[in-house]
Amino acid sequence: MTTMNRMNRARAVAAGLLGVLLTLPSAKAQAQSAVITGKVTSEFNQPVDAANVYINDLTISVVTNAQGVYTITIPAARATGQQVNLRVRAIGYQPGLRPIRVTVGSQTQDFALKQDVNRLNEVVVTGSMEATPRANVPFAVGRLTSEDIPVPALDPITALQGKVAGVRIAAISGQPGSQPEILLRGPTSINAAGRSQGPLIIVDGLQLTSGTLTDLGGLDIESVEVVKGAAGASLYGTKAASGVITIKTKRGANQEGVKFNIRSEYGFSDLNSLSYGQPTNHTLQLDETGKRFCVSGTANTAPCSQTVDWMQEILRINNVNADTVRTARNIQYNSLSNADGTLQNVYQAQIWPGQYYNTFAQVSTRAPSFLNSIDATGKAGSTKFYVSGSNTDNHGAIKQLTGQQEQRARVNLDYEARSNLLFTISTMYDKSTTDTHGAAFGTLLRGAPAGTNYLAVDTLGREIVKGGGANLRGTDNGAAGFLYDSQNSMSERGATRFIGSINANYFPAEWITFEGNFAYDTRTQNNNGANYKGYRTLTVSSANNFGNASVSNLFRETYNGSLTATLRKQLTSDLSGKLQFQGLFDQDYQINNSAAGQQFVVKDIYTLSNTTTNITANSSWQLDKDLGAFVGGSADYKGRYIIDGTFRYDGSSRFGEGNRWAPFGRISGVWRISEEPFWHTSKISDFRVRASRGSAGNTPRFNAQYETYACGATGCSLGQAGNKKLKPETTTEVELGTDFTLFNRLGVELTHATSDTKNQILPVPTISSLGFTSQWQNAGTLSNNTWEAGLTLPVINRKDLSWSMKGTWDRTRTYVTQLFFPEYYDNGGTGQGTGSIFLITARTDKQDGVPVNRFGNIWGRKFYKTCGDLPASVQGQCGAGKAYQVNDQGWLVWVGDGNTWKDGITKNLWQTKLPAAQSPWNYPLFFGMPIVDRPLRGQPNEGIGALHILGNTLPDFRMTFNNTVQYKRLTLYGLLDGTFGHKINNQGEGWGILDFASGYFDQASRSVETAKPVGYSWRAGPPEGVGVGGFYDILNPNNYNTESGSYAKLREVSLTYRIGALRGIGGDWTLGVIGRNLATFTHYSGYDPEVGVSGGNSNSGLINQVDAFDFPTLRTFTFNISTRF
């Protein structure tokens, strides 16, 4: 069957099913009824909106309105005077229960609900065999409902940001349409290349394996639940070692009729800051007027005999009707050092003549952002429905880029075919267009001269393509014009997606339930890119000047299903039991095709058939299948002791013959201590302890089991040796926790989890003469140790004023505890500079006070900062009046006896050095220069900078804090989210040093004592480099460019005013303003500490904490209006 046939058939089935269900006859209303009305309020007499009032025996359920009022109408035929329990549940409140008698006529039943501070009465579905109150769940489950998300996110995962302990989510790219990075508790894979470090995500029963999370939207979300580790996630088997996130979308209301919600949000997004540490001064040579630059001398021309105006020269070289610019005049500049390495007196201290331009400000804009949505929810006969549609436009904040536009529709139906047979159907269709231009932030941050007006256009009306670089200054970085690219090229992604799932629940008897589930997801994606014919470059480029085009298409289809039987038995009056059997399957199928060509025949036609050379094509195919069988059981004794145990046996096609199947399981229990008869104190309530030990797995990348040859146009070459004996990485986690409420006010949740992920799937290098370079093997263990705490404090709870605070804190330490092949250095996901940033080792010794096997340690060189850093034999020469002193920037430098670090200019000492023969390191020391730690003369490895642990990319701890204050109709919400104690390798600063584009070394306001020549920052000395010291260090991490990444962000703020019904219009109107990412509090010197590089072997930007010119994060500020009727 072809792919399209398969897709069409699935769509046809789903559409047909929907049609049938919508036309089914509804039950007819009865003339005579029993009518129960009432009002649900809090204990402080506040009406409780959206409380669920229900009678299980009659399978009737309704929801309160904004005034807390409900009405239940029962047909006369069912109102026989029988006694039933009328129950009320509302989020944040303890449930209410009242026995009533059902008779024809009206009766009133009001409820005043007590607050459920820890929300233990909420029902959760993740990790348990079936829906269970959190109080009875033996492991931590984070849960959010739409009420907890007052600031709608563009996707349901970002909505979790800062709200659940142990959940780390960061938008490491601000580009519209980009994915957030997720890490629950800690990493479970040392090497996740080609697979995921994140959790298993399930949406309405669909295992999400493809697409972007933004496809799902944020407004259709009813609840998001998080189980953070294997102790809870063992139920999900071979894919759940990194935890599980379950998303449920909104369902139809229980009441007949239709209710509409309309929301419109309009505002803008922009950059958080226009300051990125750029220098305002330069090192080039000016003439005596200080306004023109000296042209470099040649054999026949003396330097400075000719001068140019900077911008006139930039425009001159751009103003040419050709594919390349004219050759620029070479601006005179002085080399940093003399031939023998001593420094020249060159200072980055000259103000740009003419106008100064902030290139970041030039490229950014305040772009519109809007979201419009409408949904309808209600019930028609036996069918409940939720229908929604939305349209979003997020332009981003970069000129000429169009961001992402997305349209989405959802239809969710619940059809009660019989009193014991319920069908639940969820469908979604999404269509998006995304501008995938990356914009050249490297160019922006790496030396775009402050004197260049990048908004200038040449005489032909074109953006400039060269604004600096070679011939105009010392390095070529920063040469290109960044706006030209987006103006003269195309880069876009179009995607469509359909998700559908159907769930059938059959309750043939009280003691047994059958459930069948099938979910289907298909996504098509088309990427189109082109450089237009006539595309200008700095030098001749046949690949670009005549244009080029590339296309790639992705088709991906996944589905999963399960059959479940759940048996319940009240074994004694105090003891109930439950057994569950389940069979599961899933499949993921994808095809990727791509092609590219160069040199268009005809202008403005962007097809590959219009290209003539270097036409290439690629395709790939992948199929994954999983099967599973599950059995679980639980017992509840007196509602105080709950234990459960599960066993799952999973098979996966990602493993070789004989090793495809693996077992996973859990044993866990809860003791609800405060339910014990002996528990009399009211100071501590809802007290329970919980313990769980469970296991779950990670599968390898698709091709890990296979022996591979890389075959292409150039022929074949050996790839990796196959390994059919691979086993899953298996995480075994022990989670212990407790929850309680103090004084009925302060809710506390504490959790401690330890996990070992054994059988780490790692690419073990093979002996070269085998021919294959590596083989994936089970070769190590990664361990996590986590503490989590959550606090909830309703500070004020009065009729007109309420104030509640919530906070979370968590910390995780991750260690490599076993490695079955030699330790090795791993990369940080970027090219130059971070190839060896991490050491993967199981050694437990310490260096710099840190265990060397701590995962995420950044390794690099260290410049001395204090006398105590020096080797003991040298420390005596350090201090005031001595040869080694700490300068004004906190770096320890050599000054020579009798001098101070301030004497560089006044005594002309910058050009002096201590020869190697006199240096304790057998390496020359240059006056005033930072000194890198290296072995002393005669010690092993003499001459080579020593590697140190400079910090860790994984944080010491995280904290979040949010407040909700409601005064009458006014509600203010704010969320502060902080990550502390981790380090970032600021690679952008490394490049900035190389290109004299770091504000840290700008000498604008320095005195003769504090001014530093440019070589002070530029380039490490030999053998690592050719400079005389300095911090550049070939982009490698060092203790200058590796800095604290601690930050707190004002993540979300909203202020809403509920107007209520408008005269003559009706509805229930609310106005509000929303801010996202409004402020960042940090000492980090880069643009934004919420950074990271996707990819690399860890495959997580939250581990690869390298700042390498990513698309900057955006803030948004929007006004919204909504109503419901």
Partner 1 sequence: MNRNLIRYAALAAVVVLGACSEKQLVVPNQNQGDTKRVLGTPQDAENLLGTYFKRWHSGVYGSTTDVEGMANVMSVMNYSSLANNCQNSHYPFVGSTNFNAPGNTCQGEQFRLYSYMSEVNRVASNVLNQMADSGLTIGNTTPATDAQNVRAQAFAEFLRGISLGYLAMMHDSAAITSPNMSKEAKDCVPDPFTSVCVGALRGYKEVFDSAMVAFQRSLDYANKTGLTGTNGLANPGLPTTWIPSPTVFTTPEFVKLIRSYRARIRANVARTPAERAAVDWSAEIADAQNGITADHLLTMSTTAGPANSWRQQYDAFSTWHQMPAFVIGMADTSGAYAAWIAQPIGERGAGKTPFFMVTPDLRFPQGGTRAAQQADFAASSCAGASQTCKRYFVNRASGSDNFDGNGWGWSNYDFVRFHSWVLKGDGTARNGNTVSFTKAELDMLQAEGLYRQGNFAAAGALVNKTRVANGGLAPITVFDATTPVPGGSRACVPKVPVAPFNVIGCGNLWEALKYEKRIETAYTHFAPWYLDMRGWGDLPADTPLFWAVPFQELQARGTAISSVYGAGIGTGNAPGSTAAKGTYGW
Site pattern 292..331 for partner 1 (x: CB under 8 A): ---xx-xxxx-------------------------x-xx-
DSSP codes joined into one string, 760-772: -EEEEEPPGGGS-
Stretch that binds partner 1, among 15-23, 1023-1031, 1046-1054, 1114-1122 (CB under 8 A): 1023-1031
Name the percent of the chain in helix, strand, coil, to the closest 5.
10, 45, 45
Q: What is the closest distance, in whole angstroms, from the C-beta atom of residue 611 to partner 1 in the complex?
A: 13
**Binding track, positions 145-184, relative to partner 1; x by CB under 8 A:** ----------------------------------------
Query: Is 336 an interacting residue with respect to partner 1 (CB under 8 A)?
Result: yes
User: Where are the strands (E) in 865-953, listed by range?
Assistant: 884-886, 892-894, 913-914, 925-926, 947-952
518 bridge partner residues: 502, 561
- At residue 1035, the 3 state secondary structure works out as helix
Q: Where does residue 1090 rank: exposed (0-12), middle (13-18), buried (19+ CB within 10 A)?
A: buried
Under rule CB under 8 A, residue 917 binds partner 1: no
**26 interacts with partner 1 by CB under 8 A:** no
* Contacts (CB under 8 A) with partner 1, residues 206-245: none
Should residue 711 be labelled a site residue for partner 1 when binding is judged by CB under 8 A? yes
Q: How far is the CB of 417 from partner 1 (least distance, A)?
A: 13
The verdict on 194 binding partner 1 (CB under 8 A) reads no
19 or 822: CB nearest partner 1: 822
Measured from the CB atom, the residue of 681 and 768 that comes closer to partner 1 is: 768
Exactly one of 321, 602, 621, 880 binds partner 1 (CB under 8 A); which one? 621
Question: Residue 607, interface with partner 1 (CB under 8 A)?
Answer: no
Q: Residue count at the site for partner 1 (CB under 8 A)?
A: 103
C-alpha dist (Å) from residue 426 to 314, 335, 500, 602:
58, 68, 5, 47
Residue 653 interacts with partner 1 (CB under 8 A)?
Answer: yes
- Taking CA atoms, 963 is separated from 156, 367, 886, 1072, in Å, by 21, 29, 45, 17
Report, in Å, the least distance between residue 636 CB and partner 1: 24
Residues 753-772 that bind partner 1 (CB under 8 A): 764-771
User: What does the CA dihedral 435, 436, 439, 442 come to, rounded to 10 degrees?
Assistant: 160
Report in angstroms how near the CB of residue 708 gets to partner 1 at its nearest: 4
Q: Enumerate residues 355-394 that contact partner 1 by CB under 8 A.
A: none
Based on the shown chain and the rule CB under 8 A, indicate whether residue 617 belongs to the binding site for partner 1. no
C-alpha distances in Å from residue 402, one per residue of 218, 253, 371: 21, 38, 15
Look at strands 720-721 and 774-778 and give their pairing.
parallel
59 touches partner 1 by CB under 8 A: no
Q: Which is nearer to partner 1, 77 or 540 (CB)?
A: 540
Minimum CB separation of residue 723 from partner 1 in Å reads 8
Residue showing tokens 């609900």? 113
Residue 2 binding partner 1, by CB under 8 A: no
Q: Is 660 in the site for partner 1 (CB under 8 A)?
A: yes
The distance of closest approach from Cβ of residue 629 to partner 1 in the complex, given in angstroms and rounded to an integer, is: 7
User: Could you give the CA distance from residue 8 to residue 43 in angstroms, rounded to a whole number?
Assistant: 54
Query: 338 exposed, middle or buried (CB, 10 Å; 0-12, 13-18, 19+)?
Result: exposed
Q: Closer to partner 1 by CB, 327 or 682: give it.
A: 327
User: Residue 328 gets which letter from DSSP?
Assistant: P
Q: Indicate left, alpha or beta for 1018 from its phi (over 0: left) and psi (-120 to 50: alpha).
A: beta
Stretch that binds partner 1, among 140-148, 447-455, 1021-1029, 1111-1119 (CB under 8 A): 1021-1029
Contact string (CB under 8 A) for partner 1, positions 770-789, x = contact: xx-x-x-x------------
Query: In the complex with partner 1, which residue's Cβ is closer, 224 or 343?
Result: 343
Site string for partner 1, 537-566 (x = CB under 8 A): ---x-xx-------------------x-x-
**Least CB distance from residue 314 to partner 1, whole Å?**
16
Q: Which is nearer to partner 1, 760 or 808 (CB)?
A: 760
Selection from 474, 480, 447 nearest residue 330 by Cα = 474
Backbone angles phi, psi at 486, to 5 degrees: -70, -25
Q: How far is the CB of 322 from partner 1 (least distance, A)?
A: 14
| Residue 824 binds partner 1, judged by CB under 8 A | yes
**Least distance from C-beta 706 to partner 1, angstroms?**
4
Sole binder of partner 1 in the list 8, 82, 620, 1007 (CB under 8 A): 620
Binding to partner 1 (CB under 8 A): which residues in 483-542? 506, 508-509, 512, 514, 540, 542
The least distance separating partner 1 from the CB of residue 883, rounded to whole angstroms, comes to 23
Q: Is 879 in the site for partner 1 (CB under 8 A)?
A: no
- Residue 478 sits at φ, ψ, to 5 deg, of 85, 10
For residues 926-985, which are near partner 1 according to CB under 8 A?
940-944, 947
What's the min distance (Å) between Cβ of 290 and partner 1? 22
At its nearest, how many Å lie between partner 1 and the CB of residue 947? 7
Minimum distance from residue 873 beta carbon to partner 1 (Å): 21
CB within 8 A of 252, min separation 6: which ones?
377, 378, 379, 383, 384, 385, 386, 412, 413, 414
Residue 601 interacts with partner 1 (CB under 8 A)? no
CB 890 within 8 A of CB 865: yes
Nearest to partner 1 of 581, 641 (CB atom): 581
In the complex, the smallest distance separating the C-beta of residue 544 from partner 1, rounded to whole angstroms, is 11
**Residue 718 interacting with partner 1 (CB under 8 A):** yes
CB 669 within 8 A of CB 642: yes
d(CA 599, CA 612): 6
Does 717 interact with partner 1 (rule: CB under 8 A)?
Answer: yes
Closest separation in Å from C-beta 512 to partner 1: 6
Q: Does 722 bind partner 1 (CB under 8 A)?
A: yes
Burial of residue 407, with CB atoms counted within 10 A of its CB: 0-12 exposed, 13-18 middle, 19 or more buried = middle
CA distance 704 to 654: 8
Query: Does residue 845 interact with partner 1 by CB under 8 A?
Result: no
* Residue 16, amino acid: G
Q: How far is CA 32 from CA 28, 73, 74, 256, in A?
A: 12, 10, 9, 17
CA pair distance 647, 664, nearest whole angstrom: 6
Give the Å distances, CA to CA, from 897 to 894, 901, 914, 1012.
9, 11, 11, 20
Minimum distance from residue 908 beta carbon to partner 1 (Å): 17
Residue in 31, 713, 872, 880 binding partner 1, rule: CB under 8 A: 713
Residues 328 and 307: their CA atoms lie apart, in Å, by 13
Contact characters 676-705, partner 1, x per CB under 8 A:
--------------------------xx--
**CB-side neighbour CA atoms (13 Å) of 46:** 21
**Binders of partner 1 among 64-123, rule CB under 8 A?**
none
Task: Identify the CA nearest to 973 among candidates 1048, 1049, 1051, 1047.
Answer: 1051
848 binds partner 1 (CB under 8 A): no
- Closest distance of CB 623 from partner 1, Å: 5
CA distance 14 to 1000: 61
* Shortest separation between residue 830's beta carbon and partner 1, angstroms: 14
**CB-nearer residue toward partner 1: 139 or 1040:** 1040
Beta bridge partners of 410: 388, 428
